[in-house]
Each structure stands twice: as structure tokens, then as C-alpha cells.
Amino acid sequence: MANPEMKFRPEREVPQHTDEPLSRDRILNLSPQETVNYLGSLEETGDLESFLEDAAEDEALKAHLSYWEKWLEKDQQALLEKIIDRKKEIYPLKSESLPLELEKKFTEKQLEMIFSNVKAIQLTFGCSKGCAFCGFDAIKGVREHIPYSQLANMFQRYGKELSKGEPFLYWASEPSDYASKEGLEDRTYEDVHELAVQYAGYDPGVTSFNLTDKKWIDFMARKTSAYRTGRRLSVFGMKEEKLQALQHRVRESEEEIKFSGKKAQRVSLFGKEYKHVKGMGKTFEEEEDVEDVPKAGIACVDGVLLTPRGLFNLFVIPISREYPQGVIITPLEKISDDPVKSGDELREVMRRSVVEGEYSHAGAISKGEEFQRYFGRFPKKAKVSTAQQRYSVSVDKYGYVLECKLIESDGENLTTVEK
């Protein structure tokens, strides 16, 4: 049995600049700043373009580089986008596939496991708003979306599984950015929302920063199913006068909906008592004093994230240089038989197994924990599934597995056995 008091040192060997290229395994373990440094060193030796050409064809590397794109230098961002765009023309997306053509990579059983644990779906990569202190490092401007036909295939085939995690339909993105335009098959966010209602039997919660579009506010204020849901407009740091004007717009929409004989849905103005804080995500590096860095990011779920650029596992953890968004986020490359052991770094385990979907902040705010300070209790429990086994793990605040127990499944009854 692992000693629960056992402490793992958070320090690790940081890759130094070297003329030798790093292995893809090593690159996938780089923190965002280390990734930037590494790309910088490739630029100096004239190897960046050929590296990005290869990386854009490697699903995990493409996912990793895209996720941290806001951290890259402007010329590096432009080059990465140019290369990814060109590859898209060579390998066009297929409307009959699942998002990311996941069916080519995973077995039916593995797909069921993945979709049962999806907690968030990023419909669009990049965000029209481009807030300076975005805690998720959304890059300004929408660059890519998951085709509606692929989302429809996913919800139609895996609605039962998706109903378990009830994923919200945004992550580092503004939901209303999924709007009718070329390439979107004339669909909008509302159409995707409807897929979740119809095939997965839940009404996704929505938090939006689109505060001006009347059509969007009408949607937010309209009841879209008999299921319970939450609709929030994000108003971080908004002045009283603007708040009142927005409240007025929301009420107007509610009245119009009721007048037309439809049911209205309450829209809450979320975050007026807070402001966007510096120190999460990319702005972590700008803080001189570690005391100025918030303890927690805004991620609140463990589990699987699907984006137009990759499939990831998520695990909420305190903010650090290694994990500046307060979440371990790692491309989910495969689901293997490799066992999970105490002493493993969770980030590596997350590349080959599925983190089970959980809301990681359950009860936190109602227990008086301050929003943006709560990251959960550590060591923290999670469940992780490999191809054949299911484990209960206890993870320290640096992301190392302290204890690991194999969960034996006996029908509905789960018993834990020490590993």
C-alpha cells in the first residue's frame, strides 16, 4: 500500500535548450511556457516549419499546440494556423463521421466509455470576445468548429452515454459563436442544444458573454425543454448602470416570450460581485509575486473534453506554472491496458486512460468557499478507467497518484480491492 503521507516533489527535470529535437512524449509533457520556449528554439535553428508540418498530422501534438496557441508568438500562431488550414483542405472532414473521426481510433466499447465521461464540448475553437484575462486562454477569433452533421451523429449514436455527463457545449469559447455561416451547414448553437435535449435527455446549462444580441438573449430566456437547466449571462465587474440596462433587456425578452404563449426560463446575471482576475492561464507569467496568483482556475469538471482540435482528459488542480489554468489538460491518445500505479504522474496516465466525469466543485460555493479560490480538497479522489480496469486514485496537489485501488465491478455493486 502506498503511504498516504508520501510526498512527491513537484520539481521535475525541465528540458533545457538543446540542438537535439525533443521526443513527442517529452513535448506532450511540456508546460505551456516550456512549449513556447521549445518552439522558439526550433525557430532559431530554422526547424519550426518542418516541425509544425509533422505536428499538424499528429493528433496529440496538434491538440496540445492548439490548446496552448494563445501562448505562442504571433508569427508562430499564424504559421500553425496556416499549416492546419492547408491540411484541412487535403483531408476534408467527413459528414458521416463522428467528431475528429473518433470511430477510426477507438473501439465501440471505448467510444461508449469516452462519451459516458464527456463533461464539455467546445463547439468552436477560438472566441469572438478575446477577453484579456480569459482564464481558459481562448485565442481571439473563431478559427474552427465541429461540423453540425458530426455532432448530430454523435448525439444520435451516443445520446445514452452523453446523458451521463450532461456536457455543457462550450469550453474556452462563447456558445453563441456557433452561428449560422458558411461551413456550419446553416446551423446555430440552438440546433446543437436541441440535439442534446432530443437525444441525450438533458438541457445543457449555458453561460454566455453575448450580452447585446437580442435574438440570443431571447433564446437564453426561453424554456427549451421540460428538463432543469441554468442560463447565465456573464457580467464580471460590470458597472451598475450597464447591469440595469441588461436586466431590462432580459426582462423584455421574458415578457415577449410569455406574451407569445411560450414558457420563459430565468436568466441569471452571473459574476457581478467578482471581476476577471489576472494570474490564471497566460497572465500567470505576468505576476511577479506568487501571492498574487489565484489558487484556482475556473475549470470545475474532471473528465473528458472534446474540441474541434482534439480529445482531452481534464483534472482540476491548483494553479501552478505547470498547470496555469488550474487544470491538467492532456490529449487522450488511446485507451490501453497499462496499469495505473501509485507514484504515476496523472498527466501521463491521462494520455492512455479515461478520467471519469465529475463536477469537481460539488457543494463548494454553498459551503462558503470563495469562487476563484476553491480547487477542491487534496489529496483528491478520482476514478480512472483503462481498457480493462477501473481504478480509484488519490492524487496530490502536484498531480501525482498517491494511492491506487482497483475497483472490481460486480453488477451494480462496486467494491474496492487494494492494488
From residue 121, alpha-carbon distances to 35, 168, 339 in Å are 24, 6, 28
Which residue's CB is nearer to ligand SF4, number 136 or number 168?
Answer: 136
Q: How far is the CB of 209 from ligand SF4 (least distance, A)?
A: 4
Q: How far is the CB of 298 from ligand SF4 (least distance, A)?
A: 8
On whether the CB atoms of residues 209 and 129 are closer than 8 A, the answer is yes
Scanning 25-33, 169-177, 389-397, 408-416 for contacts with ligand SF4 by CB under 6 A, the matching segment is 169-177
136 binds ligand SF4 (CB under 6 A): yes
127 binds ligand SF4 (CB under 6 A): yes
Q: Helices 48-55 and 74-90, interaxial angle, to 10°?
A: 40
Scanning 59-67, 154-162, 170-178, 258-266 for contacts with ligand SF4 by CB under 6 A, the matching segment is 170-178
Q: Cell numbers at residue 25, please?
A: 512524449
232 binds ligand SF4 (CB under 6 A): no
Taking residues 192 to 211 in sequence order and writing x for each that binds ligand SF4 by CB under 6 A, - otherwise, the string is: -----------------x--
Q: Cell numbers at residue 15, please?
A: 528540458
Which residue's CB is nearer to ligand SF4, number 138 or number 233?
Answer: 138
- Displacement of CA 409 from its chain's centroid (Å): 29
Which residue's CB is nearer to ligand SF4, number 8 or number 270?
Answer: 270
User: What's the rounded Cα separation, in Å, for the pair 343 and 258?
Assistant: 58
Which value, to the nearest 10 degrees, does the dihedral of the CA atoms of residues 235, 220, 146, 89 take? -80
| Of 312, 344, 315, 356, residue with least CA distance to 65 | 312
Scanning 10-18, 128-136, 348-356, 363-371 for contacts with ligand SF4 by CB under 6 A, the matching segment is 128-136
138 binds ligand SF4 (CB under 6 A): yes
131 binds ligand SF4 (CB under 6 A): yes
Q: How far is the CB of 237 from ligand SF4 (least distance, A)?
A: 12
Scanning 64-72, 97-105, 127-135, 331-339 for contacts with ligand SF4 by CB under 6 A, the matching segment is 127-135
Scanning 58-66, 166-174, 365-373, 393-401 for contacts with ligand SF4 by CB under 6 A, the matching segment is 166-174
For β-strands 354-355 and 413-418, DSSP reports them as: unpaired
Scanning 3-11, 38-46, 122-130, 304-312 for contacts with ligand SF4 by CB under 6 A, the matching segment is 122-130
Q: Cell numbers at residue 393, please?
A: 486514485
| Of 108, 111, 116, 143, residue with least CA distance to 127 | 143
Which residue's CB is nearer to ligand SF4, number 130 or number 183?
Answer: 130
Instruction: State whether the Cα torsion 96-100-101-107 is positive or negative.
Output: negative
- Displacement of CA 182 from its chain's centroid (Å): 25
Q: Cell numbers at residue 356, please?
A: 471519469
Which residue's CB is nearer to ligand SF4, number 294 or number 399?
Answer: 294
On whether the CB atoms of residues 391 and 404 are closer than 8 A, the answer is yes
Q: Which member of 42, 121, 146, 172 binds ligand SF4 (CB under 6 A)?
A: 172
Q: Cell numbers at residue 99, please?
A: 467528431
Q: Which member of 24, 129, 164, 272 binds ligand SF4 (CB under 6 A)?
A: 129
For β-strands 390-395 and 401-410, DSSP reports them as: antiparallel
412: helix, strand or coil? coil
Tell me which residues in 8-37 interact with ligand SF4 (CB under 6 A). none
How many residues lie near ligand SF4 (CB under 6 A)? 11
From residue 203, alpha-carbon distances to 225, 273, 355, 415 in Å are 7, 27, 23, 33
134 binds ligand SF4 (CB under 6 A): yes
Q: Which member of 174, 254, 333, 356 binds ligand SF4 (CB under 6 A)?
A: 174
Binding site for ligand SF4 (CB under 6 A): 127, 129-131, 134, 136, 138, 172-174, 209
